[in-house]
């Protein structure tokens, strides 16, 4: 499959993506644990069906030492015993924040309170920003049919 747009060749995309990717780097450097970041990025991308992001975040997580068992169970995290309570709270918030159109009240208080029990203010802010960031990037990649499979860990660092 060929991408509909080449983000790196288009001047408008290049200007906008410079800022978007800067935001992504800021989130990478945040106090939110790197493992949690990759699990959340992967789950949001799975829900949205963004193959390019699933490819990227699976490979980045594996390169950082994440196990194949945990990566394979992200899609079924509720039934899996391999995630910490904090990771489960982050994954629950990621799902609620991604599926806002499926739930009339949006992110419920119980979901928010669970995440807030496990993450301090800075981490919770980074988590919310990461969920929003991933939803944005997923949509950019899906709309323009960015292909998946060739990503190499560290490619965009």
Q: Give the tens place of pLDDT for each residue, 119-138.
A: 999 999 999 999 999 999 99
Alpha helices in the chain (DSSP H): 11-28, 34-48, 51-63, 68-73, 85-98, 109-118, 121-143
Q: Over the stretch 56-99, which tens digit does the pLDDT of each residue have?
A: 999 999 999 999 999 999 999 999 999 999 999 999 999 999 99
Query: Distance between CA 3 and CA 70 in Å, rounded?
Result: 30
Report if residue 95 sits inside a domain: yes
User: How many Cβ atoms sit within 10 Å of the Cβ of residue 111?
Assistant: 18
Q: Percent of the chain beyond pLDDT 90?
A: 79
Report if residue 137 sits inside a domain: yes
What's the total number of domains in the chain? 1
Report if residue 112 sits inside a domain: yes
67: CATH:
1.20.1290.10
The predicted model scores a pTM of 0.93
Please determine, for residue 105, whether its predicted confidence score (pLDDT) is greater than 80. Answer: no
Report if residue 75 sits inside a domain: yes
Report if residue 156 sits inside a domain: no
pLDDT of residue 104: 64
Q: Which domain holds residue 103?
A: 32-143
Cβ atoms 93, 124 nearer than 8 A: no
Residues 6+ apart with CB under 8 A from 65: none
Report if residue 55 sits inside a domain: yes
Report if residue 66 sits inside a domain: yes
Report if residue 153 sits inside a domain: no
């Amino acid at each position: 499959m060929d991408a509909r747009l080449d983000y790196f060749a288009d001047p408008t995309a290049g200007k906008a993506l410079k800022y978007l990717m800067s935001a992504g780097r800021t989130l990478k450097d945040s106090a939110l644990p790197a493992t949690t970041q990759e699990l959340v990025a992967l789950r949001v991308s799975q829900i949205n069906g963004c193959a390019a992001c699933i490819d990227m975040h699976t490979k980045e997580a594996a390169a950082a030492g994440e196990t194949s068992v945990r990566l394979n169970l992200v899609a079924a995290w509720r039934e899996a015993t391999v995630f910490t309570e904090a990771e489960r709270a982050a994954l629950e918030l990621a799902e609620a924040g991604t599926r806002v159109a499926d739930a009339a009240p949006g992110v419920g208080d119980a979901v928010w309170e669970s995440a807030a029990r496990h993450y301090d203010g800075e981490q919770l802010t980074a988590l919310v920003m990461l969920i929003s960031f991933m939803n944005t990037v997923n949509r950019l990649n899906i709309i323009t049919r960015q292909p998946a499979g060739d990503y190499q860990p560290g490619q965009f660092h």
